[in-house]
Structure 1
Amino acid sequence: MPEDLTPIPAATLVVFRERGDGPPELLMLERSAAMRFAGGAVVFPGGRVDAGDRAFAATHPGDPDDLAARVAAVRETIEEAGVAIGVDLPDLPAARRALYDDTPFGEVIAGAAFDPAALVPFARWLPHQGVAHRIFDTRFYLARWRDGAPDPAVDGNENSQLFWSSARATLAAADAGKVRMIFPTRRNLERLALFNSFEDAVADARAHPIDTITPWIEVRDGVDHLCIPEGLGYPVTAQPLGAALRA
C-alpha cells in the first residue's frame, strides 16, 4: 500500500459541559481555513497519535493502541483548547507550551497521575481509501469537563475559534450555513443530540459495539448517498453525496 494511503492512527475527544437548564454543551473548534484537513470546518478537538503517545502507552497495562489513542486525545485537547482531561497539571499553560514544543506527553505530566478511564470509547471512523490524500483511523472518546477548570482558549494556529454549544444548536448552525461540517462530525452530532446528559451518552456508548465505520456510496432512489451501517447508535445513516462534506 502506498505510504500516503496508509491509515494514520488518530483520536478525538467529545468534551461535555453539563447545564442545569438544557442539554449538555460540547466543546467545538473551528479549524483554520488554511489547514489541509477539514479547513474551516467545525470539529471536536483531536489529532494524530504520535511517537510520544505510543511510548507512554507502552509503559502502562492494557491495549497499547487504545491507550495511545486516549493519550493523543488528551494531549491534543490540551494543545488545541487548553483543557486537560484525566490529568491534573499544576501549570497548564506551561504544559501546553511544552506539548507545542513536541515534548513527549510522559515528560510533560511527570509526577501527575493520568486516568485513562476518564475517557469513554464512543466510536471509530475510518474513511474509504482514495477519498482524500490522507486517511485517518480515528477513535472517538467521551469525557466530562470538570467544573472550575480553566476556561478553554483557542490555540490560534490550527484553530481559529472555539465555542461551547449543544449538539442540536451546532447542527442548526450548519443547516443555516453558519458553520461547515464534515460528514463524520455531522453523524456524531446527530447521535449526540439524542442525549440529555453525559450519563445518557455513556450508557448509549456502552450499549453499542465500537465497530470501525467506513462509509460507502450507494444509489438510493436514483441518487448517490454516502452511507454508514445500521445498528451502531446513529439516527441518520445516509446523506445525499452531493450534500456531504468529506474533508
Structure 2
Amino acid sequence: MDERNDTARGIPAATVVVFRHAPGGGDPQILLTVRSRKLAFAGGMAVFPGGRVDPADRELAARLDTADADEAAHRIAAIRETLEETGLVIGVGGDIDATAAREARAMLAADKPFGSVIERFGWRLDLATIVPFARWFPQNEGLTRIFDTRFYLADIGTGAVDLAVAEDEATHLFWTSAREALAMADRGEIGVIFPTRRNLERLAGFATFGEARDHALDFPVRPIIPFVREVGGRRSICIPDDAGYPVTNEPLDQAKRQ
C-alpha cells in the first residue's frame, strides 16, 4: 500500500489535546467537546477540539518562514479551530485576556481570516507550542467522510480561562482526565469513536504534559490506518503495534467508527 497516495485522498484536518493542571491535583485534565448530533461526522460523540484545514490556513502558513508549510497549516488549523469551538486561545503569544479572546472568536464567527485576527490584536503565532502527537487516517467503507487528521498536544498550565461552546458544532465542553473520560465512556455517559478511545488510553499513561510531550517525541508521527483482522476468534479493528498505543485492537461489533 502506498501511504502517500492514500493519504492524499483524505480531507486534511487537525485536532488538539489541550492539557491543564487539575484544580485539585492528580492526573492532568484534557478538554473534550461533545459534538452536535446534527453533524454528519461523529455526531453526538466526545472529541478533542479541531476541524479541517482551510485554504486560509495554508495562505497564512505560506507567509511564515518555515521549511514545512503543510505542517504549519495543520498547526494553524488546530489553533484556529480551538478558538472557534471553545473560545480558548492556544499557540499564540502576545497580550491575551478574556476580552480579547471573545472578540477574536467573534471575528472568526464573522468569517474574518485568522491572519487578520492575529494582526488585530498584535499576536504572534507560536507553532512550537503545538506538539505533534499522532496522525489518524481511518478508511472503512462506512465513513461518510474520510479525514486525514493530525493530533497535537498543547498545555495551558493552570487553565484559568473562560470557555464557551460553539452551539452550531457542539452541545457542551468539559475538562476531565483521560482516565475519567474512559470511565465515562464505559458507563455510557459519553460516546467516543475508535480513534478517540485509543488516544485516551494512550494519554491516560501520562502524569504530566511533559511526559506526554516526551513520549510523543519518541514515536515519529506517521499515518495510522486501522485495519480489520481476527483477534482471539473475533473480527476486530486494529492498529499497528509499534505506534505508542497500549491497546491496539477492539472487537468490530463494539467499536464506534463514526
Residues 1:105 and 2:114 aligned together:
yes
Q: Contact 2:137–2:149 (CA<8 Å) still a contact in 1?
A: yes
| 2:72 alignment counterpart | 67
Offset of residue 136 of structure 1 = 0.6
Q: Report matched runs for 1:24-63 at 5 Å.
A: 24-60=28-64, 61-63=66-68
SS where residue 26 of structure 2 aligns? coil
- My pick for the range that moved more, 123-132 or 199-208, is 123-132
| Mapped partners of 2:158, 2:205: distance in 1 | 23
Offset of residue 148 of structure 1 = 6.2
CA deviation digits over 1:73-98, x for unaligned, max 9? 00000000000102244611111011
- My pick for the range that moved more, 89-98 or 110-119, is 89-98
Residues 1:144 and 2:155 aligned together:
yes
Offset of residue 6 of structure 1 = 3.2
| Mapped partners of 2:159, 2:183: distance in 1 | 29
SS where residue 197 of structure 2 aligns? helix
| Mapped partners of 2:157, 2:202: distance in 1 | 23
| Mapped partners of 2:161, 2:209: distance in 1 | 20
| Mapped partners of 1:171, 1:147: distance in 2 | 23
Residues 1:187 and 2:198 aligned together:
yes
The one of 80, 86, 90 equivalent to 2:91 is 86
| Mapped partners of 2:156, 2:77: distance in 1 | 17
Could you tell me which runs of 5 or more consecutive residues in structure 1 were left unpaired when the two chains were aligned. none
| Mapped partners of 1:94, 1:146: distance in 2 | 23
| Mapped partners of 2:50, 2:239: distance in 1 | 22
Aligned-residue sequence identity (percent) comes to: 51
Q: Contact 2:21–2:157 (CA<8 Å) still a contact in 1?
A: no
| Mapped partners of 2:21, 2:232: distance in 1 | 41
Residues 1:117 and 2:120 aligned together:
no
- My pick for the range that moved more, 176-185 or 145-154, is 145-154
The one of 18, 21, 25 equivalent to 1:18 is 21
- My pick for the range that moved more, 68-77 or 143-152, is 143-152
Offset of residue 129 of structure 1 = 5.2
| 2:187 alignment counterpart | 176
| 1:227 alignment counterpart | 238
CA deviation digits over 1:115-140, x for unaligned, max 9? 00010100000011533121110000
Q: Contact 2:14–2:149 (CA<8 Å) still a contact in 1?
A: yes
Instruction: Give the letter for the 1:66 counterpart.
Output: E
Offset of residue 145 of structure 1 = 1.4
Q: Contact 2:19–2:157 (CA<8 Å) still a contact in 1?
A: no
Instruction: Give the letter for the 2:109 counterpart.
Output: Y
Instruction: Give the letter for the 1:17 counterpart.
Output: R
- My pick for the range that moved more, 151-160 or 75-84, is 151-160
CA deviation digits over 1:194-233, x for unaligned, max 9? 0000000001000112111000000123311000001111
Could you tell me which runs of 5 or more consecutive residues in structure 2 were left unpaired when the two chains were aligned. 1-7
- My pick for the range that moved more, 142-151 or 124-133, is 142-151
| Mapped partners of 1:149, 1:53: distance in 2 | 28
RMSD: 1.4
Q: Report matched runs for 1:206-245 at 5 Å.
A: 206-245=217-256
| Mapped partners of 1:145, 1:39: distance in 2 | 27
Offset of residue 146 of structure 1 = 4.4
Is the alpha carbon distance of 1:129 and 1:174 closer, same or farther for their aligned partners in structure 2, counting shifts above 3 Å?
A: closer
CA deviation digits over 1:159-186, x for unaligned, max 9? 1000000000000000011110000000
| Mapped partners of 2:137, 2:200: distance in 1 | 17
Instruction: Give the letter for the 1:6 counterpart.
Output: R
**What is the aligned residue count?**
243
After TM superposition, the score normalised by the length of structure 2 is: 0.91
Instruction: Give the letter for the 1:180 counterpart.
Output: G
Q: Contact 2:21–2:159 (CA<8 Å) still a contact in 1?
A: no
